[in-house]
């Protein structure tokens, strides 16, 4: 008879490779280019921090493991989710990271949109109006040739 051992679930100590991979994989999809850090609490429980953009790089989300339970919090300490399964917590973290689109990104999109509109207004619209005028002038002559 063969006995299959259950995977050992960590309850203490620093993140192991599987745990870190689970979190990083889930979060890198939601916010590519974002950096992360790890740390320990005063009681030796591991923490994972998803950081915001430079220069502040404030923590946007954190995942901690306390006594085999995974805790998901935002950068203001609001408890977002907790569960014994890291995979489930990572899914919630991914969703939370996707929801918290950074303000600088929104600002860039708005600025880009305004710039494009301004260019269209200043350059393209007069050109179109000119072309239309030209067409109106030339159309009767073209009809005569046809």
Partner 1 sequence: MDLAMRLGLKYYTFISQVENGFSRVPTEAMAAWATELGLEPAAFAKHLLLYYEPELHRLLFGRKV
Instruction: Dump the DSSP string for 113-129.
Output: HHHHHHHIIIIIHHHHH
How many residues make contact with partner 1 (CB under 8 A)?
A: 21
Pick the binder of partner 1 from 37, 122, 132, 133 (CB under 8 A): 37
Q: Which of 41, 115, 118, 131 binds partner 1 (CB under 8 A)?
A: 41
Crossing angle of helices 17-30 and 86-99, in 10° steps, is 20
Query: Which residues are paired to 71 by β-bridges?
Result: 64, 82
Q: Does 141 bind partner 1 (CB under 8 A)?
A: no
Going through 13-58 in order, the beta strands assigned E by DSSP cover 36-40, 46-51
Of 23, 27, 31, 47, which lies in the binding site for partner 1, with binding defined by CB under 8 A? 47
DSSP code per residue over 59-97: EEEEEEEETTEEEEEETT--EEEEES-HHHHHHHHHHHH
Q: Which is nearer to partner 1, 76 or 141 (CB)?
A: 76
Residue 60: φ, ψ to 5°:
-95, -35
Which range binds partner 1 by CB under 8 A, 1-9, 55-63, 85-93, 124-132? 55-63
Contact flags string 63-82 toward partner 1, x per CB under 8 A: -x-x----x-x-xxx-x---
Contact set with partner 1 (CB under 8 A): 37, 39-43, 45, 47, 49, 51, 58-59, 62, 64, 66, 71, 73, 75-77, 79
């Amino acid at each position: 008879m063969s006995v299959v051992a259950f995977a050992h679930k960590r309850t203490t100590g620093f993140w192991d490779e599987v745990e870190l991979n689970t979190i990083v994989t889930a979060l890198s999809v939601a916010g590519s280019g974002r950096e992360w850090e790890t740390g320990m609490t005063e009681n030796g429980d591991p923490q994972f921090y998803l950081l915001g953009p430079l220069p502040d790089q404030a923590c946007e989300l954190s995942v901690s493991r306390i006594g085999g339970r995974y805790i998901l919090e935002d950068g203001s300490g609001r408890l977002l989710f907790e569960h014994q399964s890291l995979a489930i917590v990572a899914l919630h973290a991914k969703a939370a990271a996707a929801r918290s689109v950074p303000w600088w990104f929104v600002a860039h999109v708005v600025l880009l949109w305004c710039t494009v509109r301004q260019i269209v207004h200043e350059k393209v619209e007069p050109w179109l109006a000119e072309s239309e005028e030209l067409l109106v002038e030339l159309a009767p002559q073209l009809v005569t040739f046809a």
